[in-house]
A and B are shown apart, each in its own frame.
Chain A
Amino acid sequence: MDFQKGISDWDVSTSEKVDEALVRLAQEEELANARLETLLTHQCQIEAKMSGIGRAMATLLAVESDSKNLNAQIVNTAKLAESVSAKVRRLDLARCRASECQQRVHDLIDLQLCSQGVVKAISDGEEDYEKGAAHIARFLAMDQQLLQRTADDVQGSFTSVSDAVRTLEEATEKMQTQISRRFDEAVDNDDLASVERFFKIYPLVGCHGIGIEKFSNYICKKLSVKAQKELRNALDIAKAERRLQLAYADRLTAILENFARVVEVNQPIIEACYGVASPYLLDMIKILQRECDLEVKNLLLEFNKNRQIQYRIQQIKESTQRSSGSGSASSNIQSLGHYRKPSGGSVDKLNPKEIDAIIAEITVMHSRVELYFRFMRRRVQANAEACMTEKEAQKEILDSYNNIIIKSDLSRQMQEILSTYLLFERYFMEESVLKAIALDTFEAGQTCSSMVDDVFFILRKSIRRSFSTQSINGTCAVINNAASSLDGDFVNALKTPLKNGYPSGYIDLAQAYNAIQTTLQQGKLQSSDADRGRANFLVQLNNADISTEYIETLWQTMEQEIAGTFPNMSSVERQLLDSCLTELKNVRDALKATVDFGMQQLRSSAIKPRLNPWVDQFLNYSHYLTEEELAKYEAGETFVQFLIVQLDGLLTTFKSSLSPRNYDALVSILATEVTLRLERAIKKSTFNRLGGLVLDQEVRALGTYLTGATSWSVRDKMTRLSQIATLLNLEKVSELSEYWNPESSNDMPSWRLTPNEIRTILTLRTDFRMEDIKRLQL
């Protein structure tokens, strides 16, 4: 079938083709033969396999009967095994009972030994509490109920069992009170060795809870005394260490380290002596945390007092109220932009530099507490893993520690101090930004002024500092505040001079720069001084442009540094940070809008008014030329030469004072305006053939000039004008068809003119006949 189908497709119309087909047929025959041959060679193998299968069949029958036998045997064996295992189970039970019995006998023997031993050990002469406690521990390890039953069982014949139990019970009680007494004595004498000794004995006499509690309280007392003393000398210590600015952060660190050390030292002791039945370490930490809360509270009271935190908070609140009280921010911006605060400056206005060191100190404090919690969490985790095998139970312990953290006063105090930090940091950032704006200076030869670098430096400093709090919430808030400072004060400072528009008239920029530098420093800007106004306008326009790049860089570096600072972020935390960073990046849109706004201002005040009279010169030229007039025209200054000289003059004044991107945007605007205006002038003129020819040349020259002026493509903006010139440069109307056909438009982009426009433009050529134009197939 396949073959036939193949043949039927062949072309056999000529004898050569037939020959060709024959050759191909022969080839295929050969192939077929070869295939048949290989198939035949397999015959032997297949037959051999067949006979093999036949033989195997016989064996299989034997296998079948064997397997039936086997099955029967297995069923039998299973029955046997079941009866055996029942016996084994009974045996096992018996063995269990025997060993239980043995255990009871052992217990009984030990009971006697213990009861004799304990009495001796705690007798006044010896006071071997360790030995006595060991006996009691042995006694307590026995199953008390079982012991009671044994005593009941053997009642009558042996009264010594219940005697021994009673002796031991009494000894336990006695031991407990004695140890407590001795412990208290040791505490009173501040005898650390004895305290530790009895701390280890408590669990032996079954008083785990009391032991932990008494020992922890003792430690707390010791730490409290130490902390109080150190706090009193905080400033002296700091002075000696030349770390006055971190005096309280260092004290806090010392406090936290003390608690951490206690836990670190005692964790193995507790695990060894108190066992792993229950997370005793957590009980200790709970007590310690209460003391820690107290010590930190005292420290912060001192810190607040010494660093005048409340007073400074008050100063900040007042100054922000004053600034928003004197009318909303926007109304101030209208007038002088960045001078949000009354320029006189009141006496008690807080200088941001004054709180710089305090901010740093607070971040250290906050990060220390974060580290402390992290350390403790690891300890608790290790302890939980030692105590519990199940993950669930481990998690429960960790959760209950987290709960201790959340509920602790230390956490609450850190939230308070973080709040202070954020208030200070925001004030520092906003004030410094305002200051950078107010002290803006411009150096000749640069396109931007100092405030861009300064502002971004401040923001980066603040955001970086927020990382060192180790708080994600704090970092997010500072990023948010940075975004709002940029979006508010900074963008407004850029926008204000742009809003006033670009002062018209001729300019001498070199002079204007010097002027602006001094006025900016003096903090007053006289809008009457047009030159300064112009220079300032361009500088702010450039500032806005360059800031879009800076913000991108800031965003990227901060994102990287955050990843380095918080390597173990949860996914929610990551999203939180991402979202805040995105908000920062979005300020770019406001900056771009500012640039666009400034460009529009330039268009309406610097470009259009200058440009229009130049272009309108076109109307003063005749476009109705004889050969002679043409020669004369070309010998003198042509229109386009005049126009290009003017445009070039205009652009040159901007080229050195605009950032590259802004300059390109300006050329682009210029191109749009020139072409629009020229188009209008053309439509008001009439042309003969030579007039059209000249126009076409001039439009080309203009296009070449504009293309050369910028790295952006302005070709597109020239398209309409070029097409108009092409129309007016036609030999005759019918020639249009050569250009109109869109398929062969290699040279020309598709038409931007509607058929109606084309007809109208063609009528500008006085030598074209109306009927020809009307007859055009468009």
Chain B
Amino acid sequence: MEDYKFLFKIVLVGNAGVGKTCLVRRFTQGLFPPGQGATIGVDFMIKTVEVEGEKIKLQIWDTAGQERFRSITQSYYRSAHALILVYDISCQPTFDCLPDWLREIQEYANIKVLKILVGNKTDRHDREIPTEVGHYFAKQHEMYFLETSAKEAENVERLFYEIAAELIDQARSKDGSSAATTAAQRQTDSGSIGLGFSSLSAKAAQSNCCSGLGLGNNDNASGTVGSNNTSQGG
């Protein structure tokens, strides 16, 4: 058996060119790839991380944004534990497409899936989407929110570690307490999670430091989100 406690699947979606592949490369290989071609279908990468003393295997699925790959990428939503929805803060159209992406997620993903909205390319100076706008949109749709730069490696580690920590909490609370959570419970509580996560990102913006992942902040909320866990014994 492989040496890990949990296996989580994370799927990145969003328009072509917003930087999904760069985010994944930055996180898994620690580099910003120069001029690689557009992703075809799906790409697949694995990284094992350690969170709260547990070895976690992250399966990261990078998808192609173009319409013609949709029927391939859709098929991966169902088994995802977390979905990262990415837009480009310097490109309004990528933000305008978010509702379409949410509709897809609604249709194909597990209702309990963890959703994270990511505004990428914060290093660029021609910003078109103010942070508050992204933040507000995320809050409205009960998503976590974070702004990143794959180029400057800003908030990239944090993004994935935060997701891993949240998914661990979900898996644990499912093991421990009763797994059944009513929809009503989920709804009221996930609002506060959204706040929790985005307040973290606000904090990160102030301190600009990734070492304190603020893992504790989600404790109260975690029990109610539930998950379609895939904890594999190691």
Contacts and interface: CB of A to CB of B under 8 A. Distances in A.
Interface of A: 324, 406, 412, 415-416, 418-419, 422-423, 426, 473-474, 476-478, 480-481, 483-484, 487, 572, 575-576, 579, 583, 586
A473 B72 contact: yes
Interface string B67-83: 01111100110110000
27 contacts: A324-B107, A406-B37, A406-B40, A415-B68, A416-B68, A418-B72, A419-B69, A422-B72, A422-B75, A423-B71, A473-B40, A473-B41, A473-B72, A474-B72, A476-B42, A476-B72, A477-B72, A477-B75, A480-B75, A480-B78, A481-B75, A487-B78, A572-B43, A572-B44, A575-B44, A575-B46, A583-B79
A576 B44 contact: yes
A415 B40 contact: yes
Contacts of B41: 473
B44 to A, nearest CB: 5
A483 B78 contact: yes
Contacts of B59: 579
Interface string B41-79: 111101000000000000100000000111110011011
Given A324-B107, A579-B44, A484 B75 contact: yes
Contacts, number: 53
Interface in B217-234: 230
A586 B107 CA distance: 21
A492 to B, nearest CB: 14
Nearest to B73: A477
Given A415-B40, A583-B79, 14 more contacts: A416-B68, A419-B71, A419-B72, A422-B71, A422-B75, A473-B42, A477-B71, A481-B75, A483-B78, A484-B75, A575-B44, A576-B42, A579-B44, A586-B230
A576 B60 CA distance: 11
Contacts of A418: 71-72
A426 B107 CA distance: 15
Interface in B69-117: 69-72, 75-76, 78-79, 107
Contacts of A480: 75-76, 78-79
A484 to B, nearest CB: 5
Contacts of A415: 40, 68-69
Interface string B149-174: 00000000000000000000000000
Contacts of A416: 68
A585 to B, nearest CB: 12
Main secondary structure of the interface of B (DSSP, over half): mixed
Contacts of A419: 68-72
Nearest to B44: A576
A469 B37 CA distance: 23
Interface string B182-218: 0000000000000000000000000000000000000
B138 to A, nearest CB: 23
B203 to A, nearest CB: 35
A62 to B, nearest CB: 68
Contacts of B72: 418-419, 422, 473-474, 476-477
Nearest to B75: A480
For chain A, what secondary structure do more than half of its interface residues adopt (helix, strand, loop), or is it mixed? helix
A68 to B, nearest CB: 62
Q: How large is the interface on B (under 10, 10 to 19, 20 to 34, 35 or more residues)?
A: 10 to 19
A423 B42 CA distance: 17
A22 B69 CA distance: 95
A423 B74 CA distance: 11
B217 to A, nearest CB: 31
A412 B68 contact: yes
Residue from the set A418, A422, A477, A483 with the largest chain B CB neighbour count within 10 Å: A477
Listed from nearest, the 10 A-B pairs whose CB atoms lie closest are: A480-B75, A473-B41, A422-B71, A477-B75, A419-B71, A477-B72, A484-B78, A415-B68, A576-B44, A583-B79
Contacts of A483: 78-79
Contacts of A324: 107
Contacts of B70: 419
B196 to A, nearest CB: 27
B40 to A, nearest CB: 7
Nearest to A420: B71
Contacts of A474: 72
B232 to A, nearest CB: 10
A483 B110 CA distance: 13
A477 B79 CA distance: 12
Contacts of A583: 79
Contacts of B76: 480
A480 B75 CA distance: 6
Nearest to B46: A575
Interface string B15-44: 000000000000000000000010011111
Contacts of A579: 44, 59
Contacts of B107: 324
Most buried by A among B37, B69, B70: B69
A476 B76 CA distance: 9
Contacts of B46: 575
B60 to A, nearest CB: 11
Nearest to A406: B37
A422 B71 CA distance: 6
A96 to B, nearest CB: 45
Contacts of B42: 473, 476, 576
A81 B37 CA distance: 59
A412 B70 CA distance: 14
Contacts of B75: 422, 476-478, 480-481, 484
Nearest to B108: A484
Nearest to B230: A586
A420 B84 CA distance: 26
Nearest to A584: B79
A474 B75 CA distance: 10
Contacts of A422: 71-72, 75
A423 B75 CA distance: 11
A419 B43 CA distance: 17
A361 B76 CA distance: 25
Q: Of A406, A423, A473, A483, which is in contact with the most chain B CB atoms at under 10 Å from its CB?
A: A473
Contacts of B78: 480, 483-484, 487
A325 to B, nearest CB: 11
A119 to B, nearest CB: 53
A704 B199 CA distance: 65
A419 B79 CA distance: 20
Contacts of B71: 418-419, 422-423, 426, 477
A416 B69 CA distance: 8
A418 B37 CA distance: 20
A575 B57 CA distance: 14
B187 to A, nearest CB: 15
A184 B85 CA distance: 57
Contacts of A576: 42, 44
A423 B71 CA distance: 6
A419 B41 CA distance: 10
Contacts of A478: 75
Nearest to A576: B44
B62 to A, nearest CB: 11
Contacts of A484: 75, 78
A487 B68 CA distance: 26
A406 B36 CA distance: 12
Contacts of B68: 412, 415-416, 419
A474 B76 CA distance: 12
A61 B10 CA distance: 80
Nearest to B66: A415
Contacts of B230: 586
B7 to A, nearest CB: 9
B51 to A, nearest CB: 21
A426 B78 CA distance: 14
B9 to A, nearest CB: 8
A148 B41 CA distance: 58
Central interface residue in B41, B76, B107, by most chain A CB within 10 Å: B41
A321 to B, nearest CB: 9
Contacts of A423: 71
A412 B64 CA distance: 13
